[in-house]
Amino acid sequence: MAKIWDKGFDANKRVEDFTVGNDRELDLRLAKHDINGSKAHIKMLVKIGLLNDDEEKLLQTELQNILQEVEKGEFKLDLDVEDIHSQIEAMLTERLGEVGKKIHSGRSRNDQVLVDIKLYLKEEILIIKEEVLQLFELLQSLSEKHKGALMPGYTHAQIAMPSSFGLWFGAFAEVLVDDMYTLVTAWRVADQNPLGSAAGYGSSFPLDREMTTKELGFSTMSYNVIAAQMGRGKTERILAQSMANIASTLNKLAVDNCTYMSGNFDFISYPKELTTGSSIMPHKKNPDVWELIRSHSNRLQSLPNEISLMTTNMAHGYHRDYQLLKDVLFPAIEILHSILEMSHFMLQHISVKNDILNDDKYQYLFTVEKVNYLVLQGIPFREAYQQVGKEVQEGNFRSENQVNHTHAGSIGNLCTEQIKEKMTKAANLIQ
pLDDT band at 100 (very low <50, low <70, confident <90, very high): very high
Give residue 278's pLDDT: 52
407-417 residue pLDDT tens: 999 999 999 99
Lowest mean pLDDT among 61-70, 155-164, 290-299, 395-404: 395-404
Three state DSSP letters for the chain: CCCCCCCCCCCCHHHHHHHHCCHHHHHHHHHHHHHHHHHHHHHHHHHCCCCCHHHHHHHHHHHHHHHHHHHCCCCCCCCCCCCHHHHHHHHHHHHHHHHHHHHHCCCCHHHHHHHHHHHHHHHHHHHHHHHHHHHHHHHHHHHHHCCCCEEEEEECCEEEEEEEHHHHHHHHHHHHHHHHHHHHHHHHHHCEECCCCCCCCCCCCCCCHHHHHHHCCCCEECCCHHHHHHHHHHHHHHHHHHHHHHHHHHHHHHHHHHHHHCCCCCCEECCHHHCECCCCCCCCCECHHHHHHHHHHHHHHCHHHHHHHHCCCCCCCCCHHHHHHHHHHHHHHHHHHHHHHHHHHHHCCCEECCCHHHCHHHHHHHHHHHHHHHHHCCCCHHHHHHHHHHHHHHCCCCCCCCCCCCCCCECCECCHHHHHHHHHHHHCCCC
Average pLDDT, rounded, for the chain: 91
Residue of 326, 313, 335, 155 lying closest to 244 (CA atoms):
335
Q: Which residues pair with 102 in a beta bridge?
A: none
- Whole-prediction pTM value? 0.91
How confident is the model at residue 285, as a pLDDT?
81
Residue 396 has pLDDT above 90, yes or no: no
Average pLDDT estimate for 259-287: 81
Q: What is the pLDDT of residue 24?
A: 63
299 vs 289: CA distance, rounded Å:
15
Give the distance from CA 129 to its chain's centroid: 8
What are 286's strand-pairing partners? Answer: 276
110-147+162-358+416-427 CATH? 1.20.200.10
Q: Read off the pLDDT of residues 186-208 as tens digits, 9 standing for 90 and up.
A: 999 999 999 999 999 999 999 99
What confidence score (pLDDT) does residue 77 get? 85
Q: Choose between 80 and 418: higher pLDDT.
A: 418
The CATH 1.10.275.10 domain(s) of the chain lie at 13-105
Based on the number of CB atoms within 10 Å of its own CB, is 271 exposed (0-12), middle (13-18) or buried (19 or more)? Answer: exposed
Q: Are 146 and 173 in contact (CB under 8 A)?
A: no
Segment 329-344, tens digit of pLDDT: 999 999 999 999 999 9
Distances from the Cα of 161 to the Cαs of 150, 166, 169, 366, 385, in angstroms? Answer: 11, 15, 17, 6, 15
Specify the pLDDT at position 402.
80
pLDDT band at 18 (very low <50, low <70, confident <90, very high): low
- pLDDT, residue 323, reads 87
What confidence category does residue 5 fall into, taking pLDDT thresholds of 50, 70 and 90? very low
Q: pLDDT above 90 covers what percent of the chain?
A: 72
pLDDT higher than 90, residue 279: no
pLDDT of 9 higher than 50: no
Burial (Cβ within 10 Å: 0-12, 13-18, ≥19) of residue 14: exposed
With cut-offs at 50, 70 and 90, classify the pLDDT of residue 13.
Answer: low
The 10s digit of each residue's pLDDT in 109-163 is: 899 999 999 999 999 999 999 999 999 999 999 999 999 999 999 999 998 888 9
pLDDT > 90? residue 7: no
Q: Where in the chain is the domain with CATH 1.20.200.10?
A: 110-147+162-358+416-427
Helix (H, G, I), strand (E, B) or coil at 158: strand
Q: How confident is the model at residue 327 (pLDDT cuts 50, 70, 90)?
A: very high
53, amino acid identity: D
Q: Is the pLDDT of residue 1 over 60?
A: no
The CATH code of domain 13-105 reads 1.10.275.10
**DSSP letter for each residue of 169-231:** HHHHHHHHHHHHHHHHHHHHHHSEE-TT-TTTT--SS---HHHHHHHTT-SEE--SHHHHHHH
Average pLDDT over residues 238-259: 98
The predicted pLDDT at position 23 comes to 65
**Residue 67: what residue type?**
L
Q: What is the mean pLDDT of residues 337-362?
A: 94
pLDDT at 85 over 70: yes
CB atoms within 10 A of CB 9: 5
User: Alpha carbon 132 to chain centroid distance?
Assistant: 8
Cβ contacts of 211 within 8 Å, gap of 6 or more: 40, 43, 44, 47
Of 21-35, 48-62, 211-225, 326-340, the least confident: 21-35
pLDDT score at 274: 87
pLDDT category at 386 given cuts 50, 70, 90 is very high
Residue 366 has a pLDDT of 86
Residues comprising the chain, all counted: 431
Task: Indicate the pLDDT class of residue 12, thresholds 50, 70 and 90.
Answer: low
